[in-house]
Chain A
Amino acid sequence: MRTINYLLRTTVIDKMTIPFTIRIALTQEPAFFADLFQRVRKDIDRDLTRIDDEFSPFKATSLLSQFRAGDLSLLESSARFAEVFTLAQAAQVETAGYFDPNFDGDYNPTGLVKGWAINRIFDQRLRPLLRTPEIVGVSLNGGGDIMTAIKATTDFRWGVGIANPLNDSEILGKYDLANNGIATSGLSRRGEHIRRQASSLQQVTIVDESLLFADIWATAGMAAGTKTLLNLAARHQLNGVLVDEQLGVVHFSKGVSQP
């Protein structure tokens, strides 16, 4: 065995009261990197501000608030708004209704907007950086929902720990991820007032290629409860980890619970 040292460069953006951590792994730091990193940070900051302005349920001027007040024309005038609307409706069908875009009595896609936004920003701003020879990995973590990517030729992997819902200084285990999205939903997740079945389910993590998909299923899984979630995971071949008061930690791969 030999040990390879990779450099990590990290910056955090505070937006929508969520910490967004951008991390980049390098073999060595080229002279232009500091400027590049600054620029990417600024672009992502601007992207996040725009998404907050469009989709915040707390801002009276947001597209979402206008839509909820009855302006249905946004489905026509904003391609992004229409896309999220379509995704939210599809998510409801695909998750047997457990992802509910009308959980508060009106249209509210909050359960997938963060995943959608991180997925989109990552593909646009960070994934292309892998063309830089020295950059072997890029990642974006928005309050625990994460996108990762690596160069095809590297053996670098992003180590992602699964938080222990009962002790926030501990993790339960880890995934070594290449090109993935990973999302975790729990009892205390804010802005996501899920209507839940009575259940002993405490936390759900889903891993997929797409963070949008992982986020939808983590949200739906929390609403479904342990037993239904495990059935849905089997039917849809989901990968992830759940924490249940009675069962403890259950890891499932392609929907099959692992010993």
Chain B
Amino acid sequence: MRKLIGYLLSIAVALAVVIDSYIVFFNGHRNSSEASEPSATTSTTATTSSKQSGGQYRNGTYTGKSVQTQWGIVQVRAVIQNGKLTKVNVLKYPDSENRSRQINSQALPVYKAESIKAQSANIQHVSGATETYNGFKGSLQDALNQAQKDSQQKESSR
């Protein structure tokens, strides 16, 4: 068992070394060409090109930290020329099943189509596109917010 852990650990270290040297290599060359996606899934290394005074970047590449998203782990790599972003590549780590797993585990939301008066239908929120605070007084949401109680009909419990 201990042997196995040691073995796994050495693989992890080797992998980390490979990832590190990959990043060093990449940024060392300040190469803007596409590189194949790294296969590791947990790298959180942020590396950037060096800065000039005033916060401006020299020509080079910015590699962001990995961010967990609904589409899996993503990381951006931006190419900087004359202090401007000229190109942004999105690196996605192999986890394309992530989204489908999520879809399958989600309970499907139940929709009921009917034009109903909101106040009479156990509604606590309105999802819409136009609401600003100026128009809020007297809005449907404002009216719903006045309710202090909500009555929900349930199947009677046995």
State the CA gap A129–B86 with chains docked (Å).
45
Min Cβ gap B120→A in Å is 11
Known contacts A18-B133, A90-B74; decide if A174 and B112 are in contact (CB<8 Å).
yes
Q: Which of B46-87 contact A (CB under 8 A)?
A: 46, 48, 51, 55-57, 62, 64-65, 67, 69-71, 74-76, 78, 80, 83-85
| Docked pose: A258 CA to B109 CA in angstroms | 13
List the one stretch of A31-39, A41-49, A50-58, A143-151 in contact with chain B.
Answer: A143-151
| B-contacting residues, A1-31, CB 8 Å | 1-10, 12, 14, 17-19, 21, 23, 25
Q: Which size class do B's interface residues fall under?
A: 35 or more
Does chain B have a CB within 8 A of A200? no
| Nearest opposing residue in chain B for A12, CB measure | B145
Contact of B111 among A175, A236, A237 (CB under 8 A): A175
The count of residues in chain A whose C-beta lies closer than 8 Å to any C-beta of chain B is 92
What residues of A have a CB within 8 angstroms of the CB of B45 in the complex?
A: none
CB distance from A30 to the nearest CB of B (A): 16
With contacts A89-B76, A168-B139 taken as known, whether A139 is within 8 angstroms of B124 at the C-beta atoms is yes
Residue from B83, B113, B130, B136 in contact with A249 in the complex, judged by beta carbons closer than 8 Å = B113
The 10 closest A-B pairs by CB, nearest first: A186-B129, A163-B128, A173-B113, A159-B123, A73-B55, A144-B128, A19-B136, A86-B67, A90-B74, A143-B131
Whether B125 pairs with A162 at a CB distance below 8 angstroms is: no
Q: 30 A-B residue contacts at CB 8 Å?
A: A1-B155, A2-B157, A3-B153, A17-B134, A19-B133, A21-B145, A70-B83, A71-B56, A72-B80, A82-B65, A86-B76, A89-B88, A89-B90, A141-B125, A143-B132, A144-B130, A146-B125, A155-B152, A161-B116, A161-B126, A161-B127, A163-B126, A163-B140, A165-B130, A171-B118, A173-B112, A173-B113, A173-B114, A174-B112, A176-B112
